A and B are shown apart, each in its own frame.
Chain A
């Protein structure tokens, strides 16, 4: 890639690219991320739509807040079990929408550590959407 083709304007996300300079030497340049410079709005749109869709699923009783954060953070079922140290068998039970209230406090803490959100936030996500369901 020629140097002139390598530059993108994105102060929030800088990257190093190796390019061909005018003298034919290959060297590093610091530039903005092309993807973030051009497509970040699309990323946020999709994220917002995903949040909405998952919120509706909680509302309908199809998933619970554990499933919500698992999808939002792009974790597979196996990876979630490995990261929390909770047996797959139990994670499977915890992911069933109706079982949220049966998840122990210690298990919730483990999920909270992995998701990097407070336990209260997980509980709020669950109750907020289920409340909407009750209001309907």
Chain B
């Protein structure tokens, strides 16, 4: 059975895209940037020595799952959520929803998705997609990173949903239980922005928020000593571009999408100052993009001497200074 009236749409990010798509299907007209902004999706975190990763890395959005939780708190939307002990019960529950015509989002390891090109496939347990049908042991999937719905065999879906390791999905599914016709946008937007400012400025953990950006700037000069050879270093440096641009961010590590949210918010709550903040963040995003293109270029050219890492460090420090100033002023404006 395929849920015929489900409208597949590409999105910048898998989690905000899946949530938006499910809410649209349930009748709430809301955009992806609005979902992202209200749920305080913008973030930064740097992980220099985490056992789960083979090399230092960073994130540019809040913790997986947090968008959904924040959105529930601020809009009144309610989701049914469930995870499972074993593949059998997980598959049964998903199949039952499909048979009832209920599209459901599920959390998966990206690596087992057969329809993803080989060069994109990495073990990461926090990808979200929406299952919209099943025929002959093949699921029909609405994956917001693809222009059209795609097919995924049951075996691969089960492997992806029940991968173990860091952030193991355990077959996690969610779908809307209650969706209001509308909600208090002003309140939700203000809360979303306030929390985002808190995440960026005040979390008392040295590798998160603006502090995390500065740690990234400081530690990136250590990267050459941590790589096994030049090609490995080149690969890791070019991954900066993937994390900021390609891995479902809408460009510049979500800064462009958050700018879009601020612009939309300025109209909805009639606060023209937010339009200026949107413009400013777009420019900050351009700076991140400049940094990511620089990383891709020096990686490709194997131009990875210490001076290049100092340059990258300096570019990150500049972003950190600008974002600190930006979020401080945004926080005061929204009070």
Chain A residues packing against B (C-beta within 8 Å): 1, 6, 12-20, 25-28, 30, 33-36, 38-40, 42-44, 46, 49-50, 73-79, 82-85, 113-114, 116
Contact = CB atoms under 8 A, between A and B. Distances in A.
A85 B168 CA distance: 12
Nearest to A15: B246
A85 to B, nearest CB: 6
A75 B54 contact: yes
21 contacts: A1-B251, A6-B251, A14-B10, A17-B250, A17-B251, A18-B257, A25-B263, A26-B256, A26-B264, A27-B260, A30-B10, A34-B241, A35-B246, A38-B300, A42-B238, A43-B119, A49-B231, A73-B111, A79-B166, A113-B159, A114-B163
A6 B285 CA distance: 13
B286 interface: yes
B33 interface: yes
B53 A76 contact: yes
| Smallest CB-CB A-B distances: 9 pairs | A18-B256, A78-B51, A26-B260, A83-B165, A16-B12, A82-B165, A17-B251, A18-B250, A83-B164
Given A33-B245, A113-B159, A116-B111, 10 more contacts: A1-B251, A15-B245, A15-B246, A28-B12, A30-B147, A39-B238, A46-B234, A74-B123, A82-B165, A84-B164
A122 B57 CA distance: 29
Nearest to A81: B165
Given A14-B146, A78-B52, A38 B296 contact: yes
B12 to A, nearest CB: 4
Q: Classify the interface of chain B: helix, strand, loop or mixed.
A: helix
Q: Which of A33, A40, A77 has the most CB of B within 10 A?
A: A33
Interface of B: 10-12, 32-33, 51-54, 111-112, 117, 119-120, 122-123, 144-147, 159, 163-166, 168, 231-232, 234-235, 238, 241-242, 245-246, 248, 250-252, 256-257, 259-260, 263-264, 278, 282, 285-286, 289, 293, 296, 299-300
Contacts of B164: 82-85, 114
Q: Which of B238, B251, B260, B278 has the most CB of A within 10 A?
A: B251
B137 to A, nearest CB: 18
Given A46-B235, A49-B231, A16 B111 contact: no
A34 B299 CA distance: 14
A94 B10 CA distance: 43
Given A1-B286, A46-B235, A35 B296 contact: yes
B165 A16 contact: no
Nearest to B251: A17
B289 A1 contact: yes
A129 B226 CA distance: 28
B33 A83 contact: no
Contacts of A12: 117
Q: Which of A14, A27, A74 has the most CB of B within 10 A?
A: A74
A78 B123 CA distance: 13
Contact of B241 (A18, A35, A77, A84): A35
B33 A36 contact: no
Q: Which of A30, A35, A113, A116 has the most CB of B within 10 A?
A: A35
B252 A1 contact: yes
Contact of A34 (B11, B54, B245, B259): B245
Nearest to B295: A35
B123 A19 contact: no
A5 B146 CA distance: 22
B259 A26 contact: yes
A76 B251 contact: no
A13 B296 contact: no
A28 B9 CA distance: 12
B245 A18 contact: no
Contact of B119 (A44, A77, A84): A44
